[in-house]
Amino acid sequence: MDSIIKLNNINKEYGTTVKTKVLFDLNLDITEGSFNGIIGQSGSGKSTLLNIIGTLDKPTTGEVFINGKRTDQMTNNQLAILRNETIGFIFQFHYLLPEFTAFENVMMPYYIQQNQFDKGAEKRAHELMDLVGLSKVKSNLAGNMSGGQQQRTAIARSLINSPKVILADEPTGNLDSNTSDTVYELLRDINKKLETTFIVITHDRRIAEKTDRIIEVRDGRIYSDFSRI
């Protein structure tokens, strides 16, 4: 299988006067359609790694390729289009827009693509929301839902534009263990059905063990990389 994400010699430093190096000469290849887990202690650099893959952050040095395109030299506009079309994000704190309903939040990446509130993808949004079990709260404002519902809304939102890659930063971090199991099953299902590539950061070894590949990051370096496929 082809690699959809490729990182070459990524270094990341923060700060201007006092420099803190977070990532050290990191190389990584992610195969298209795979389900990858990134584990590591907090402060190990795994979130920075995910943000660099997601083009939200830029490496200090090194090359990032997504879908064959080099992203670390793209303009803000090019990155915005790439993120919108290729990448779906699921964050730990879900980051929904509180002014919009669950349904509108799910539609938002599509609206951004169309540059207006367009009804075109509504059917798909309904399907996705049914898929993640949100049929009853579609028209609730984002703030008027439980944590699990909000997280599932974020999942449906990450899928609306059928992205090739979904990046999830502890998507079950603040959910109870039953709900996190359900969410993982769901992500896994989507991975199988839609062949979407997943990179999921998790603290939960139990869940990490269900992935195709476990990458452990320690002190800004890949400490271990174990693949089941």
Partner 1 sequence: MKLAFQIALRFLTSNKSQAFLITLGIAIGISVQIFIGSLIDGLQVSLVDSTIGSVSQITIESSERNEPLDNYQEIETIIGKNYEEVTAFSPTLTQGGFMLFDQNFDQMLYRGFDINKANVIYKFADAILPGGAMPREGEVLIGQTLANNNDVSVGDTITLISAERDTLEVKVAGLIDLKVASLNELWIVGDMKIAQKVFIYDEGNATAIEMQVEEPFDADILTDRMTEDLKSYPISIANWKTANEQLLSGLSGQTTSSLMIQIFVVISVVLGIASVLAITVLQKSRQIGILKAMGIKDKTSSYIFLFQGFILGILGGILGIILGIGLLFAFSTFALNPDGTPIVPIVLNPGFIALSGMIAVLASTIASIIPAQKSKKVSPIEVIRNG
Residues forming contacts to partner 1 in the complex (CB under 8 A) are 47, 51, 54, 56-57, 76-77, 80-85, 89, 91, 93, 95-100, 108-109, 111-117, 157
CB of 92 to partner 1, least distance (A): 9
Token pair 């930063």 is found at 169
Q: Which is nearer to partner 1, 114 or 177 (CB)?
A: 114
Q: Which is nearer to partner 1, 29 or 99 (CB)?
A: 99
Token pair 């669950």 is found at 102
Amino acid at 141: L
Q: Which is nearer to partner 1, 110 or 198 (CB)?
A: 110
| CA dist list (Å): 85 to 113, 159, 163, 177 | 8, 10, 6, 32
CB of 74 to partner 1, least distance (A): 13
Strands laid side by side in the 3-14 sheet: 20-31, 3-14, 61-66, 69-70
Q: Which is nearer to partner 1, 99 or 185 (CB)?
A: 99
CB of 73 to partner 1, least distance (A): 17
CB of 55 to partner 1, least distance (A): 9
Residues whose CB is less than 8 angstroms from the CB of residue 149 and which lie 6 or more positions away in sequence, other chains included: 102, 134, 137, 140
Strands 197-201 and 165-169 turn out to be parallel
